[in-house]
Homo-oligomer: A and B are copies of this chain.
Amino acid sequence: YPGTFAAPPQQPVNDPMWGYFTAIAGQDGEIDAEELQQCLTQSGISGTYAPFSLETCRIMIAMLDRDMTGKLGFTEFKELFAALNGWKQNFMMFDQDRSGTVEPHEMSQSINAMGYRISPQALNAVIKRYSKGGRIYFDDYVACAVKLRALTDNFRRRDQMQQGSVSFQYDDFIQCTMSI
């Protein structure tokens, strides 16, 4: 398509993901958290790591579900899948011994590698929250990455002058933090 900048609309039928998405989504063409968990497990994206917990699947949906139905369509699912592949590569890079966990100091590096600039104190709070027995498992790593992305997006959308500071009304604060 020379001279065309927009990608041509994708034919979902030719997409390898389309098969198990539709099989699971059923008639409404959307998937909820339980169905997302099945989809992701069947896709094998967790590789040798444990499949995603239902809780993490709910956070994933909250991140992408812009129309607030609690479900994802195929486009949102594909967007999620692309993000997950990025996080998986990032995780594997830091989990060099393939133990299935990254250690706290590696987690700091990894959050930096994702492009977030946060203070040692904030990093410490995040790491504490997502560790089990001093280590971070893939499922929690992804939950952490999803939340960081969603909260940062929510913040940026309100920080239109890019001043690094946002004035929140209580109701808006609760809505944008409780839904994640």
Query: How far apart are the CA atoms of A133 and B121 in the complex, in Å?
Result: 38
Q: B124, A174: Cβ atoms under 8 Å?
A: no
Which B residues are CB-close (under 8 A) to A155? 168, 170, 173-174
Query: Could you mark each residue 115-127 of chain A with 1 if its beta carbon is under 8 Å from any beta carbon of chain B, else 0?
Result: 0101101101110
Please provide the chain A residues from 32 to 48 with a CB less than 8 Å away from any CB of chain B in the complex: 33-34
Partner of A178, one of B147, B166, B170: B147
Complex contact B68–A171 (CB within 8 A): no
Q: Which of A122, A151, A159, A170: most chain B CB closer than 10 A?
A: A170
What B residues does A170 contact at CB under 8 A? 118, 152, 155, 159, 164-166
Interface status of A96 (Cβ within 8 A of chain B): no
Chain B neighbourhood of A132, CB < 8 A: 33-34
Residues of B within 8 A of A168 (CB): 155, 165-168
Q: Which residue of B lies closest to A69 (CB)?
A: B128
Interface flag for A169 (CB, 8 Å): yes
A129–B166 CB distance below 8 A? no
> Which residues of chain A from 122 to 154 have any CB-CB distance to chain B below 8 Å in the complex?
122, 124-126, 128-129, 131-133, 144, 147-148, 151-152
Query: Do A129 and B174 have beta carbons less than 8 Å apart?
Result: no
Most buried by B among A68, A131, A178: A178
Docked-complex contact A128 and B175, CB < 8 angstroms: no
What sequence of 0s and 1s flags, for each residue 64-93 of chain A, a beta carbon within 8 Å of any chain B beta carbon?
A: 000010100000000000000000000000
Interface residues of A (CB under 8 A from B): 33-34, 53, 55, 58, 62, 68, 70, 116, 118-119, 121-122, 124-126, 128-129, 131-133, 144, 147-148, 151-152, 155, 159, 164-175, 177-180
